[in-house]
Amino acid sequence: MMGSLKRTMLFAALLTALPGYAAAQTQKDIPVATEMPRMAKIVLVGDSTVAVQGGWGPSFCGYHVTSAVACVNLAKGGRSSGSYWAEKSWDVALQEMRPEGFAKTYVLIQFGHNDQPGKPGRSTDLATEFPVNLRKYVEEVRAAGAVPVLVTPLTRRQFRDGILQDDLGPWAEAARKVAREMGAPLIDLHARSRAAIQEMGPTKANMLAQMPPPPEVAAAALTGTTIPAQKPAVPGAPSSPPAQPTQQDNAKVEPMGQAKLSFDYTHLGRAGADLFATIVTEELATAVPDLRRFLIP
């Protein structure tokens, strides 16, 4: 009996020592994936209030999606719903919607700031062009097999007598109407951002800009009315008169390209980007429930 046990143990030891035996036994216990995991993709399309340096997009892609999502920010400063299309930036976005390797692609589309009058080469007609452009975006996203999500434009932060001025309201309403008519998911960033900024008031809202407000702008905010931010003075140049409590001409101060680091009532610094990216995330989880598991509040 003892001799038989010794022979069995010796045989097992010899088998273990054979080349490949131990590896085969170990590999047998490892589950083999039948297919590669398929990630989701989110593509951001819009203007500087979404883009890198000046918008909420970097914070959204960097802090509010899980590692199971590829987040691509294709927003560009100074673009409208018309110029983004005309310059072929939309063609780049369509390439990102190809289904290879991704379970589903979601395209967030936000325009409005540069569609307003007074911006040559960018403005679109509110009645006849802007909604038509949005419908075209929705149709082409769907044709590409992706999911379009319309986003109403982020509010500007200009006040008069303590009341936030709603200069982008008509463009937000146009986006809402297109979403209703086409059954597209909607993130009403305009409504949410207006409520948040009105509650903050002008002084706190100024802290969301890329740079701190100049002294005269900060002083005006304490009165409840914002004034245009003056350009830095040139040494030796005659001083300009103090800014009057009028609204800033956004058509003149908002650049065509990437937003430069400065104070204004449109573009966002890190605090502003974080605030509005959080709002976009909350709204997206409600508008597109299938994405909820991929989002980080």
Taking CA atoms, 213 is separated from 205, 217, 232, 257, in Å, by 10, 6, 12, 22
Residue of 182, 171, 141, 142 lying closest to 81 (CA atoms): 171
Which residues lie closer than 8 Å to 180 by C-beta, 6 or more apart?
186
Rounded to an integer, what distance in angstroms lies between the CA atom of residue 165 and that of residue 160?
Answer: 7
What tens digit of pLDDT does each residue of 108-165 get? Answer: 999 999 999 998 889 999 999 999 999 999 999 999 999 999 999 999 999 999 999 9
Which H or E element spans position 105? strand 102-110
Rounded to an integer, what distance in angstroms lies between the CA atom of residue 14 and that of residue 31?
Answer: 27
Rounded to an integer, what distance in angstroms lies between the CA atom of residue 154 and that of residue 205?
Answer: 13
Taking the CA atoms of 284, 286, 292 and 297 in sequence, report the sign of the dihedral they define: positive
pLDDT number for residue 261: 85
What tens digit of pLDDT does each residue of 47-71 get? Answer: 999 999 899 999 999 999 999 999 9
Which tokens hold the place of 265? 């009532």
Model-level pTM? 0.82
Q: Are the C-beta atoms of 104 and 147 separated by less than 8 Å?
A: yes
Q: How confident is the model at residue 295 (pLDDT cuts 50, 70, 90)?
A: very high
Task: Give start and end residues of each alpha helix (H) in the chain.
Answer: 2-17, 21-28, 57-63, 83-86, 89-96, 130-143, 169-182, 189-206, 215-222, 250-253, 270-287
What tens digit of pLDDT does each residue of 255-291 get? Answer: 666 667 899 999 999 999 999 999 999 999 999 999 9
Domain 39-228+243-294 has CATH 3.30.465.10: no
Domain ranges of the chain: 39-228+243-294
